[in-house]
């Protein structure tokens, strides 16, 4: 079989609706396989508009509204033996406050006619870029180098978040903003550039070139939103705590150690772990929710991340879609407590999140599912306008300049996609 890159190029050129769940940057825990799939004209896809409260079915060259809740429509339409692929944007739950996306569909799901699976070999030198040589660290910006003064809009939003935190309305608020770029980039070429710059366990590409619901999602996310296994175990791996890579092995190790020990970061991570333990307890067997890994440092091309794992066993009366809904959106992208903090987010954030802070992956009618959190991702409607989200968790101990710097270097690898080829 041909290599996945060549195969993907051919599929994307011939099929307006297609996807690539890319295992090229995967880890042992996420599986090293790629799934590439496509739809013919008479295969169904769904799009969700949170502004209109409409789920639209696209099939056979026609489009018609089929519901007002994307979770409910997916629950109804996913049959045993089927797999659906797509994303749920931040505004996918109608019972939670979230601004609709005026630019892109708030969710897209596709049932492919054909899929191809590619297995990726494990790199002999290991997963860590540091193990593969310092050259992979060159050009990675540090927080101090990115530390331009926070713009007034961000500073004002940060101040309002602090007011809510000190009033006791939230323990932690994930404050984000949307960046917009204009570039005449082919989405396929842009994705191939992104996967070179920032390979990650939940890398992937979605193309939904359908009038009225055009969307391209280019993901290089390291974070697991939810895994549902065949034996009905539910697992999530929240990330809370990020630091850039160092330019030398010594500096890199110092960054890693600081991330592992810094009290503010550990407090942020623990708050989100507690939030997710609560979310899982709503759908899992009593006594089955556990934290098998707490605050472990994972290393990627451009950052170190502080990651925990929360796991439980689904109750017999809970479907996969019900479990995914209960967790949505990811607690690492809201803060705690979830509902009140989302109300704060809606008040202070000036831009919609769209697909950012949502989930992207696959769901099976037989029960299993695997989705990543949409972070480190680019989105476009094919018009030449691109959007991406960035941000971080804010607590009472946060510093506005440091938080702004963090949001900048989180976006840095994504913005390199728009640099002219060298």
- Specify whether the CB–CB gap between 341 and 173 falls below 8 A: yes
Q: Which is it for strands 107-110 and 83-88: parallel, antiparallel or unpaired? A: antiparallel
Q: What is the DSSP letter of 335?
A: E
Contacts of 377 (CB under 8 A, 6+ apart): 217, 218, 219, 220, 221, 355, 356, 360, 388, 389, 414
Q: Give me the torsion for CA of 148, 149, 155, 159, rounded to 10°.
A: 100
Say whether 223 is catalytic: yes
What is d(CA 184, CA 242) in angstroms, rounded to the nearest whole number?
31
Q: 371-393: buried (b, 16+ CB within 10 Å) or exposed (e) per residue?
A: bbbbbbbbbbbeeeebbbbbbbb
Cα–Cα–Cα angle for 99, 383, 392, rounded to 5 degrees: 40
In the structure encoding, which two tokens stand for residue 54, read together? 């409409």
Q: 395: which residues sit within 8 A by CB, 6+ positions away?
A: 165, 171, 172, 264, 267, 268
Confirm whether 264 is a catalytic residue. no
Grouping H, G, I as helix, E, B as strand and the rest as coil, residue 85 is strand
Among residues 54, 76, 163, 240, the one annotated as catalytic is 240
Catalytic residues: 223, 240
């Amino acid at each position: 079989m041909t290599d996945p890159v060549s195969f993907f190029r051919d599929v994307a050129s011939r099929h307006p609706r297609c996807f690539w769940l890319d295992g090229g940057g995967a880890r042992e825990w996420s599986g090293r396989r790629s799934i590439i799939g496509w739809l013919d004209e008479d295969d169904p896809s769904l799009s969700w508009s949170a502004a209109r409260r409409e789920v639209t079915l696209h099939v056979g060259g026609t489009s018609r509204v089929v519901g007002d809740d994307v979770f409910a429509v997916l629950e109804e339409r996913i049959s045993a033996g089927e797999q659906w692929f797509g994303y749920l944007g931040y505004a996918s739950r109608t019972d939670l406050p979230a601004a609709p996306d005026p630019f892109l569909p708030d969710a897209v799901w596709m049932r492919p006619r054909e899929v191809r699976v590619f297995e990726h070999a494990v790199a002999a030198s290991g997963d860590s870029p540091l193990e593969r040589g310092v050259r992979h660290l060159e050009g990675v910006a540090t927080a101090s180098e990115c530390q331009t003064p926070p713009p007034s809009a961000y500073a004002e939003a940060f101040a309002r978040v602090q007011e809510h935190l000190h009033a006791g309305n939230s323990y932690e608020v994930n404050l984000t903003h949307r960046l917009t770029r204009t570039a005449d980039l082919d989405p396929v070429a842009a994705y191939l550039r992104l996967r070179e710059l920032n390979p990650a366990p939940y890398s992937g590409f979605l193309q939904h070139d359908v009038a009225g619901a055009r969307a391209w999602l280019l993901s290089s996310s390291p974070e697991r939103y939810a895994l549902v296994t065949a034996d009905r175990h539910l697992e999530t791996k929240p990330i809370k705590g990020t630091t850039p890579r160092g330019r030398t092995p010594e500096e890199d190790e110092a960054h890693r150690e600081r991330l592992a020990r810094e009290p503010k970061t550990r407090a942020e991570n623990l708050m989100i772990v507690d939030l997710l333990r609560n979310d899982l307890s709503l759908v899992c067997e009593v006594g089955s929710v556990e934290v098998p890994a707490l605050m472990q440092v994972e290393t990627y091309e451009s950052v170190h991340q502080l990651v925990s794992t929360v796991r439980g066993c689904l109750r017999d009366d809970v479907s996969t879609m019900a479990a995914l809904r209960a967790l949505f959106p990811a607690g690492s992208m809201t803060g705690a407590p979830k509902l009140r903090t989302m109300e704060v987010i809606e008040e202070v954030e000036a831009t919609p999140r769209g697909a950012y802070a949502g989930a992207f992956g696959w769901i099976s009618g037989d029960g299993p599912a695997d989705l990543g959190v949409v972070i480190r991702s680019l989105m476009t409607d094919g018009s030449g306008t691109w959007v991406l989200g960035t941000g971080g968790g804010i607590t009472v101990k946060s510093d506005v300049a440091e938080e702004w710097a963090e949001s900048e270097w989180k976006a840095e690898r994504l913005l390199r996609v728009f640099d002219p080829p060298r």
